[in-house]
Chains A and B, each alone.
Chain A
Amino acid sequence: MSAVLQRPAQSSRGPGLRARLSAFSTRHRSISVIVGMAITAAVLPLIVLLPPFSSFSGQSIWIDGFTIAGIYVLLALGLNIVVGLSGLLDLGYAAFFAIGAYTYAFAASPFTGNEFPFWPMLLVGAVMAAIFGILLGAPTLRLRGDYLAIVTLGFGEIVPIVILNSSKYTDGPNGIGGITPPSIGDFLFPTTGNPWPFYLTMLALITLSMILIYRLQDSRLGRAWMAIREDELAAAANGVNTVTTKLLAFALGASTAGLAGVFLASKLQTVTPNLFRFDVSFTVLAMVVLGGMGNVWGVAIGAFIIFMIQSVFLKQLNLFFDNVHVPILSDVDFLQYQFLLYGIALVAMMLLRPEGLFPSRRRRRELHTEEDAEFGEHGDPMGAAPE
């Protein structure tokens, strides 16, 4: 009895604060994103100084890992526009990542002899990727669902293979090395030792992308994307130009990947076609789905967590079982089973929590409407009344 009485009291206090916080963050999206990212930027380097994490590796290696994780966060944010908002299943997303990376590799490496500065190249890489996004989008405008997935899958395979085989222009499987890292004035970003410049740059890029994506999502363009996801014909019958809207979704999604690609090239200082294979597309898609399709923060956190699990947790698992000498488990290389784990996680997710770890409010209502099941039945009340 007392438990029953207690619960409402607790929940009334919780939502009050939460509701006020969420109301504030809805009204001041940009401020809340900046504050959130600033807190993240400050807290992450401190957390890794605490016991369980500090024993894995030193702080600077951790921060380096966070920077790479940030690249995946950017990719997931971009794919979220295409898959989460517009409902266009894109399985070849790594292609745009590759285009961004090779754009910077051509612009600032001894291989071509060019020396363009990093910062404007961020924009150029994004624009190049956006152009290819449109080029991919244009022929696939009439496709939806599985068919679109197959075509984009093909495009995702074509780009690395073209790069691999045109060895004259890309040095084939060896890739392009010696890419110039970014610099501010005379200060060249250090590639070893001090990880902070790259870390902070990455966080700035993510913050900027999140702010812009939130703005797009709340604009008429964002609503048009959602309308196309829901019902393309009805969207067209309400004045949405489905052609340009879909092309914009492809272009803006791709441009985020291009941004990530330029950053990757400058961070690793080398690009090879191997970095952009199908598993990247798949990993990013898994991040979007697991994180919660359509929710910007959810996707970002989902991407971060999955990357950390893949790059830190599995490695530690290997070390742990090596040290404790468990008979079979110590022989297993968990890193090799990464995709098995993704698969299991995705299946489990679809069964238990189809809206993702951090769903948008909309998705949660969409998928949990037991109480409204009766009304849900009315979704297509005419039943047989096709166009």
Chain B
Amino acid sequence: MSMAQTADIGVRPADEATAEPSILLEARGLTRRFGGLVACRDVDLRIPAGGIVSIIGPNGAGKTTFFNVVAGIMDPSGGTVVFRGRTLITMPRRTWLEPIFWVLPAAIALLVTYLLGAFNGEESSTAVGMLVVIAVLATTLLTAIIRPRWYSRLMDRFGILRSARPNDVVAAGIGRTFQNIRLFQNMTALENVLVGMHLKLRSNLGDHLISSPRQRTDEEAAARRASELLALVGLQGIENELAKNLPYGDQRRLELARALANDPVLLLLDEPTAGMNPNETSEMTALIGRLRSDLGVSVLLIEHDMRVVMGISDHILVLDHGERIAEGTPEEVRKNQRVIEAYLGTGAS
């Protein structure tokens, strides 16, 4: 059943027609090593559209590592993640080839300027030639650093693959929250949500500078939508509070609103009820359920609280020491012998 062979699993868009349309996200053989420690080994996971899938496991089981790999924060050591038929996360491949493309334009420029007679001994023409070559080199390197989409496609054509960056993952339609809340502490609640809406706003630098009508309508619509989202998670009337001044439960909700701001198809929630009292926990659980029914968002959840997990998940993946030990519906997982052992130790049942 090993699906560890990453190299030949479809990584080009063309190969991905095989993915079933109802499968939103598919992780195949996802592996992540930290030196000798394998935090995540050969994890396969399928999230159907509209599903709520949970990952559970004891501390140090590799749940957050799995999340971070899916969210593009760290590169996998093996395996791929296909999201809506597009390979999003993959092990970097043939990246040693890339520097060739960085110097190639400069080398061509050097050749061209040489053939045009730039280096014939005259000082001014030499200077011009050098300037041209340096400018071409700098532009190429800058392009490689900024990595616009056409550049990625071009590299893809030569088989050079890099994993998506966190912002690309967001652009693809995946939102996430963090285990230890990472709000923008010194910005207001509304501004936090507006940052989450960053990719939704289409105004560019020129619009900002001349304060164009598009910019203004964009901003007004964004502020309205942000207030709606705050109301959706139950945070009306705190728009202008600084995020750090909010009570803990509200910070969690605010982070959820921020993750929703980009209209994600899939939400990655890393322990959304950690540190909450039972009352807040049940409210949060209801909220997550509502997100699916009202917004049609699929959810991938890491959670320790079994009431939450068993209550709302369609499907549960149990990890221990980075490996999958069980998978199935809540009922199946609850009865699984290995899960009981992992949580309670051998001989406990």
- By a beta-carbon cutoff of 8 Å, the part of chain A in contact with chain B is 30, 134-135, 138, 141, 212, 215-216, 218-224, 226-227, 230-231, 233-244, 247-248, 362, 365-366, 369, 372, 375-376, 378-382, 385-387
Contacts and interface: CB of A to CB of B under 8 A. Distances in A.
B274 to A, nearest CB: 7
Given A219-B203, A220-B203, A238-B198, 10 more contacts: A226-B187, A226-B191, A231-B182, A235-B184, A237-B166, A240-B198, A244-B146, A376-B244, A379-B244, A382-B181
Contacts of B138: 135
A215 B198 contact: no
A378 B248 contact: yes
A238 B208 contact: no
30 contacts: A30-B211, A138-B145, A215-B208, A216-B208, A219-B207, A219-B215, A220-B201, A220-B219, A226-B184, A227-B184, A227-B198, A230-B187, A236-B73, A236-B167, A238-B195, A238-B259, A238-B262, A239-B171, A240-B195, A241-B165, A242-B167, A366-B242, A375-B246, A378-B244, A378-B247, A380-B181, A381-B248, A382-B274, A386-B180, A387-B178
B186 A362 contact: yes
Contacts of B205: 221, 248
B179 interface: yes
Given A135-B138, A221-B208, A233 B182 contact: yes
For the complex of A and B, list the 9 residue pairs with the smallest distance between their C-beta atoms, beginning with the closest: A239-B170, A219-B208, A230-B184, A236-B166, A234-B182, A239-B199, A382-B180, A385-B180, A227-B195
B180 A381 contact: yes
Given A220-B203, A239-B262, A227 B146 contact: no
Interface of B: 64, 68, 71, 73, 138, 141-142, 145-147, 165-167, 170-171, 175-176, 178-187, 191, 194-199, 201, 203, 205, 207-209, 211, 215, 218-219, 222, 242, 244-248, 251, 258-259, 261-262, 274-275
A242 B211 CA distance: 23
B196 A387 contact: no
Contacts, number: 147
B215 to A, nearest CB: 7
Contact of B211 (A215, A366, A380): A215
B145 A141 contact: yes
A14 to B, nearest CB: 21
A240 B175 CA distance: 12
A153 to B, nearest CB: 22
A142 to B, nearest CB: 10
Nearest to A224: B198
A380 B243 CA distance: 12
B150 to A, nearest CB: 15
Contacts of B198: 220, 223-224, 227, 238-240
A380 B167 CA distance: 24
Max chain A Cβ within 10 angstroms of own Cβ: one of B64, B167, B181? B167
A222 B38 CA distance: 40
Contacts of A212: 209
Nearest to A375: B245
B186 A230 contact: yes
Contacts of B209: 212, 215-216
A116 B181 CA distance: 55
B42 to A, nearest CB: 22
Given A375-B244, A387-B73, A231 B184 contact: yes
B329 to A, nearest CB: 29
Contacts of A215: 208-209, 211
A216 B275 CA distance: 38
A252 to B, nearest CB: 9
B300 to A, nearest CB: 14
Given A362-B186, A365-B242, A385 B179 contact: yes
B194 A223 contact: yes
Given A220-B194, A237-B170, A385-B180, A379 B208 contact: no
Contacts of B248: 378, 381
A243 B146 contact: yes
A196 B191 CA distance: 43
Contacts of B258: 238
A234 B178 contact: yes
A239 to B, nearest CB: 4
Contacts of A233: 73, 166, 182
